[in-house]
Chains A and B, each alone.
Chain A
Amino acid sequence: MDALIRSLIDGLLLGFVYGIAAMGLTLIWGVMNVINLSHGAIIALGMFSVYLLFTALGISPYVAVVITAILGLLFGIVIYFIAVHRVIDAPELSTLLATYAVNMIIIGVGTSIFKTSPRNVPLELGSVHLGPAVVPTTRLIAALVAILVAGGLFLFLKYTRPGRYIRAVTDNRDAAEIVGVPSAQVLALSFGLGTMLAAVSGALIATVFPFTILSGGSYELKSFVIGVLGGLGNPVGSLFGGLILGDIESLVPLVMPTTWTPVLEFVLFVVILLVKPNGLFGGEE
């Protein structure tokens, strides 16, 4: 029983971190119907940003997370104007390939600089007791930061003017343009926020697990699974999707070999796409 609760708590904590990466993916999809295939590369950049700021400049990893967030936002806006804006109204294939091209460029440059040797952020903060479970402090802080970021995003979308613009464009871009919403800027901002979430998620993962420049790929796939679980275009759903995935990952090893986890995840992914394309919490079409 204790093992079960321990795994559950472990899964929940990781789930928040996975969740915000998926929120980024699904925010971009919701606003502009673009599946961002450079998501994984940005997650990896987030990891390396914390790593470099910490090991080279000695900046505390949690300050580095904030810096990474700002860099992620700016980088996303740049990517939007270079790679996405021109093809935003073209068929899906164009945006899929354009963002994949960005992915290739980042990973290509990244591998030639950092090689593919594993790195980790040497951060030792001991562990804390959460009920019957003992969890590393880094994991708890990562989850708390993720919750803060998700909450912040929610308030931003709900109460600020740019946030309202984003929701307007999500609902109906043409109508929003007619009433004077500057749609290009709003799309760029949304893309920036999406990549910011990916970068922050990568930064937090880096404080918990070792990584390489190629690690982003597997987290991107997780983001797809989570996004579909929670409903593409539904950021709050993503957070719950993240919790579900985190718990699948920590509970499955209790009953069968760990290597079966991805089989389950991807079968679930395809089945949900087929049966409930709006996600577990979405309504009928």
Chain B
Amino acid sequence: MTKRIQQHASLWLSLAAVLLIGIWPIITGDALDRETAFTVLRAVALASSLNILLGYTGYVSFGHVVFYGLGGYVGFYLISARGWNLWLAILAGGIAAGLLAYLLGLAILRLRGAYFALATIGVNEAVRAFINNFEPFGGPTGMTLNFKVYKLYGGPASALQLSFYIIIGLTLLVILVSYWVRTSKFGLGLLAIREDEDAAEVMGVVAPNAKTWAYVLSAVIPGMVGALVFFKNGTIEPGLAFPLNTSIVMIVMIMLGGQGTVLGPILGAAGYETMRDYLLVSPLFKNLQLAISGALLLIIVLFIPRGLVGWLRQRYPKVRRLLI
């Protein structure tokens, strides 16, 4: 039994961490706490998704926010203009993001290293610029949700509550997927690609397929999260849906916690959000929030490139089996 628990220790730890963040505002019953927890869980879900591509496969997507934005737009459009319900809209957001990732994957995953990173930036900017001109989605002014929509979910207050439960569910789902990938044969193939793509192909990993599916997996949940977040916000516009900065913040979170591990992005996302909240309210650092985050990132990249979990694994060989 203990061996069993040990075997899946990092899964239990990860799930427990997410549940803890999720249950805390339910216990305190404070709406402000709930909003904070929502932001943290959103960050955990996005970072853990990106980790499947960046951490396991070693492909640096700088424009990953494109899936979040697209899912957000598709979901929002279906709810506001087509009268779909939230569940179906979230599903549609995820499918739209997955489909885009599949099509893109066929094309741009041929590129390696920095060329791939640049292409993902280009894709994000192209989609953002396109939506800016796309009238059905409201062009540059975006769309606003009719307040009546929330009535279907028992009024705005309970719609917010419902959104919070959904984000907990989505975050738990990402972690299950992430853990499954990390421990499956498919995931081993991805890790092999990360270490040496040509060697992996020689050993029988069908790299183009594996990479494409990793890309799709890492895109679906951000699409669903996007649909949920913009439903909750009640408004969407290109600048809010496709901020390149958010993409990079996702990478920073992964680096902070440790890329290529299940637990890392969770710790990184929670840690980063907590720090940012603290800096934003502190009168001394409020204005320098961005600069301090930058300095922190630089220190991590230069001195602790494996992140917190990677550092723990290296420092204490005994926990290596527990923390993956």
Interface positions of A (Cβ within 8 A of B): 29, 33, 35, 83, 86-87, 90-94, 96-98, 100-105, 107-109, 111-112, 221, 224-225, 228, 257, 259-260, 262-263, 265-267, 269-270, 273-274, 277
User: Interface majority SS on A: helix, strand, loop or mixed?
Assistant: helix
Contact of A83 among B107, B302, B305 (CB under 8 A): B302
A101-B298, A221-B125, A274-B107 known; A96-B290 Cβ under 8 A: no
In the complex the two chains form, is A270's CB within 8 Å of B108's CB?
A: yes
Residues of B with C-beta under 8 A to A228:
118
In the complex the two chains form, is B130's CB within 8 Å of A263's CB?
A: yes
In the complex the two chains form, is A224's CB within 8 Å of B121's CB?
A: yes
Residues of B with C-beta under 8 A to A267:
126
In the complex, A45 Cα to B96 Cα: how many Å? 40
Q: Convert B80-123 into 0s and 1s, putting 1 for each residue whose CB lies closer than 8 angstroms to a CB of A.
A: 00000000000000000000000000011011011101110111
In the complex the two chains form, is A96's CB within 8 Å of B115's CB?
A: no
Number of A-B contacts (CB under 8 A): 122
Closest approach, in angstroms, between the C-beta of A248 and any C-beta of chain B? 13
Contact of A259 among B121, B140, B295, B297 (CB under 8 A): B140
Closest to B134 in A: A263
Cβ contacts A to B, 7 pairs, < 8 Å: A97-B251, A97-B297, A108-B290, A108-B291, A109-B288, A266-B122, A274-B107
Residues of B with C-beta under 8 A to A93:
54, 60, 251
- B282 at the binding interface (Cβ < 8 Å): no
In the complex the two chains form, is B293's CB within 8 Å of A92's CB?
A: no
In the complex, A262 Cα to B107 Cα: how many Å? 21
Residues of A with C-beta under 8 A to B302:
83, 86-87, 98
A108-B293, A228-B118 known; A274-B108 Cβ under 8 A: yes
Closest approach, in angstroms, between the C-beta of A160 and any C-beta of chain B? 29
In the complex the two chains form, is A257's CB within 8 Å of B287's CB?
A: no
In the complex, A94 Cα to B122 Cα: how many Å? 20
Which of B60, B126, B293 is the most central at the interface, judged by chain A CB atoms within 10 Å of its CB?
B126
In the complex, A262 Cα to B133 Cα: how many Å? 10
In the complex, A277 Cα to B107 Cα: how many Å? 13
In the complex, A251 Cα to B77 Cα: how many Å? 33
- B5 at the binding interface (Cβ < 8 Å): no
In the complex, A33 Cα to B60 Cα: how many Å? 15
In the complex, A259 Cα to B132 Cα: how many Å? 8
- B129 at the binding interface (Cβ < 8 Å): yes
10 closest residue pairs by CB, A with B: A104-B294, A108-B291, A108-B290, A266-B126, A112-B287, A262-B129, A101-B298, A105-B294, A101-B297, A263-B129
In the complex the two chains form, is A269's CB within 8 Å of B122's CB?
A: yes
In the complex, A93 Cα to B111 Cα: how many Å? 15
Contact of B294 among A101, A221, A224, A269 (CB under 8 A): A101
Residues of A with C-beta under 8 A to B305:
87, 90, 94
In the complex the two chains form, is A104's CB within 8 Å of B122's CB?
A: no
- B252 at the binding interface (Cβ < 8 Å): yes
Closest approach, in angstroms, between the C-beta of B264 and any C-beta of chain A? 14
In the complex the two chains form, is A104's CB within 8 Å of B117's CB?
A: no
Residues of B with C-beta under 8 A to A259:
129, 132-133, 140
Closest to B251 in A: A97
In the complex, A109 Cα to B292 Cα: how many Å? 9
In the complex, A273 Cα to B122 Cα: how many Å? 10
> In chain B between 261 and 306, which residues have their CB closer than 8 angstroms to a CB of chain A?
287-295, 297-298, 301-302, 305
Which of B62, B248, B301 is the most central at the interface, judged by chain A CB atoms within 10 Å of its CB?
B301
Closest approach, in angstroms, between the C-beta of A241 and any C-beta of chain B? 14
Residues of A with C-beta under 8 A to B121:
221, 224
